[in-house]
């Protein structure tokens, strides 16, 4: 949700262009890509460690979201160069209790923090995010944040995943993604205003990094995750900038607790938005797709629906200075982030459909 600065000043032109080869936004999926990155099909703990060299052009973050058994949603980010262009380290925590507005705190730090390259072992101020693909310990210090924090343990229950090498690139620029814990059991405590309570639920952790503002690569994306019956599903569709091809890059992952059943990217999966409807937030003037559906060539399907329960709806220019807002509006940019609680349905060939609760985000970068 902190993309506003980079959106306003680094977004690419929307003029159509014809591009080909490495300049067209693409998944790095060839044997040569795997070899150059030192990767195989097996994901190892070092992939969740530091992947970038600290510097003004590189960003990196580690993300957790959890759906607790009482319906509370918790979201945590640990980031360097947060998201892009801040040149700071940051810790962000959000808590949405049913029937209450989302409460959020973001803390930024000038000191460099500590980041391991052998696995996820991040320390920013007094806050820590540590794990080995199987088990993670996340500590957000409520005393430092002013009252909102937690001590959480996430234990993976579905196989780790990345789309091919995890890298989406155009020329020398890239954005990368690893879903270290597509689904896991979440336990521990959360603290609100010095009151600490035990919690249980389900959780998800991923890791992103890159060397250019995502607004320079994408016009936006849908991303969602859910647990439907015995299946974990993650789905996304990213819209490439017109200058980088103007095409969509869809991703669909479906797994049970033993194996990945669907791992489809690019031309192997289609993504279709549902009927355009008014956005549930009256402050958002544009329409939004009522759903986004994914289908593979083999017939596996997943459908995410928006809902009236918005966890977040934010104009990403609202807190920026006048000059940055004016520059963005002059370029026709109206960046917005919406996050919903989403009803989700999946179906695999030869199996009955199953449904369950999930989350769905709609990120408009243009």
For a pLDDT cut of 70, what percent of the chain falls above it? 89
Residue finishing a domain among 176, 194, 212: 212
Query: Is the per-residue pLDDT at 194 higher than 50?
Result: yes
Residue 307 tokens read as 């809902």
Same domain, 174 and 123: yes
Residue 18 lies inside a defined structural domain of this protein: no
Same domain, 224 and 268: yes
Tell me, what CATH number does 253's domain have?
Answer: 2.40.370.10
Closest CA to 52 of 161, 178, 137: 178
Strands 167-170 and 173-192: antiparallel
- Residues forming beta bridges with residue 174, ordered by sequence position: 169
As a whole number, the mean pLDDT across the chain is: 90
Residue 33 lies inside a defined structural domain of this protein: yes
Q: What is the pLDDT of residue 335?
A: 84
Residue finishing a domain among 193, 212, 231: 212
Same domain, 257 and 169: no
Q: How many angstroms separate the Cα of 252 from the Cα of each of 235, 266, 291?
A: 5, 9, 15
Same domain, 54 and 170: yes
Q: What is the pLDDT of residue 1?
A: 33
Residue 16 lies inside a defined structural domain of this protein: no
Contact 346, 354 (CB under 8 A): yes
* Domain hosting residue 248, numbered range: 214-366
Residue 310 lies inside a defined structural domain of this protein: yes
Cα torsion angle, 165, 169, 173, 179, sign: negative
Same domain, 136 and 85: yes
Contact 64, 156 (CB under 8 A): no
Same domain, 90 and 31: yes
Higher pLDDT, 294 or 16: 294
Same domain, 269 and 184: no
Cα torsion angle, 110, 361, 204, 26, sign: negative
Question: How large is the average pLDDT for residues 220-245?
Answer: 95
The span from the CA of 173 to the CA of 188, in Å, is: 39
Q: What is the pLDDT of residue 315?
A: 84
Residue 346 lies inside a defined structural domain of this protein: yes
Contact 174, 133 (CB under 8 A): no
Q: What is the pLDDT of residue 145?
A: 96
Q: What is the pLDDT of residue 81?
A: 87
Q: Tell me: the pLDDT tens digits for 301-328?
A: 999 999 988 888 888 777 666 666 556 5
Q: Find how far residue 240's CA is from the centre of its chain.
A: 16
Same domain, 195 and 235: no
Match 């989302």 to its residue by tokens. 102
Same domain, 208 and 332: no
Count other Cβ atoms within 10 Å, centred on residue 157: 18
Q: Tell me: the pLDDT tens digits for 35-69?
A: 999 999 999 999 999 999 988 889 999 999 999 99
Residue finishing a domain among 183, 212, 241: 212
Same domain, 156 and 285: no
Q: Tell me: the pLDDT tens digits for 127-178?
A: 999 999 999 999 999 999 999 999 999 999 999 999 999 999 999 999 999 9
The span from the CA of 51 to the CA of 210, in Å, is: 9
Question: How large is the average pLDDT for residues 261-283?
Answer: 96
Contact 119, 134 (CB under 8 A): no
Q: What is the pLDDT of residue 334?
A: 78
For residue 2, what pLDDT band results from cuts at 50, 70 and 90?
A: very low
Residue 243 tokens read as 């200058």
pTM summary value: 0.90
Query: Is the per-residue pLDDT at 272 higher than 90?
Result: yes
Contact 333, 283 (CB under 8 A): no
The span from the CA of 283 to the CA of 264, in Å, is: 36
Q: What is the pLDDT of residue 332?
A: 60
Q: Tell me: the pLDDT tens digits for 5-29?
A: 333 334 433 333 446 678 999 999 9
> ∠ CA 120-124-128 to the nearest 5 degrees?
50
Residue 280 lies inside a defined structural domain of this protein: yes
Q: What is the pLDDT of residue 366?
A: 78
Residue 9 lies inside a defined structural domain of this protein: no
């Amino acid at each position: 949700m902190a993309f506003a600065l980079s959106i306003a000043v680094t977004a690419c032109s929307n003029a159509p262009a014809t591009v080909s080869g490495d300049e067209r936004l693409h998944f790095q999926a060839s044997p040569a890509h795997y070899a150059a990155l030192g990767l195989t099909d097996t994901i190892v703990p070092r992939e969740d460690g530091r992947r970038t060299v600290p510097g003004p052009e590189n960003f990196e973050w580690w993300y957790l979201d959890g759906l607790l058994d009482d319906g509370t949603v918790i979201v945590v980010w640990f980031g360097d160069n947060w998201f892009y262009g801040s040149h700071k380290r940051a810790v962000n925590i959000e808590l949405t209790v049913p029937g209450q507005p989302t409460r959020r705190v973001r803390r930024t730090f000038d000191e460099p923090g500590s980041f391991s390259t052998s696995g996820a072992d991040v320390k920013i101020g007094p806050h820590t995010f540590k794990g080995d693909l199987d088990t993670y310990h996340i500590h957000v210090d409520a005393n430092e944040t002013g009252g909102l924090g937690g001590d959480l343990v996430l234990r993976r229950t579905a196989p780790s995943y990345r789309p091919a090498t995890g890298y989406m690139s155009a020329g020398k620029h890239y954005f990368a993604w690893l879903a270290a814990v597509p689904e896991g059991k979440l336990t521990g405590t959360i603290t609100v205003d010095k009151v600490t309570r035990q919690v249980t639920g389900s959780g998800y952790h991923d890791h992103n990094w890159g060397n250019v503002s995502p607004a320079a690569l994408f016009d936006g994306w849908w991303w969602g995750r859910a647990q439907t019956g015995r299946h974990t599903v993650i789905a996304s569709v990213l819209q490439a900038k017109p200058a980088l091809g103007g095409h969509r890059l869809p991703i669909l992952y479906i797994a049970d607790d033993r194996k990945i059943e669907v791992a489809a990217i690019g031309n192997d999966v289609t993504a279709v938005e549902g009927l355009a409807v008014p956005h549930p937030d009256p402050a958002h003037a544009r329409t939004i797709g009522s759903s986004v559906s994914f289908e593979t060539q083999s017939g596996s399907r997943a459908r995410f629906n928006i809902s009236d329960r918005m966890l977040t709806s934010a104009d990403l220019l609202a807190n920026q200075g006048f000059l940055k807002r004016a520059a963005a509006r002059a370029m026709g940019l109206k960046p917005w982030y919406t996050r919903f609680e989403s009803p989700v349905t999946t179906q695999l060939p030869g199996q009955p459909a199953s449904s369950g609760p999930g989350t769905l985000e709609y990120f408009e970068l243009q």
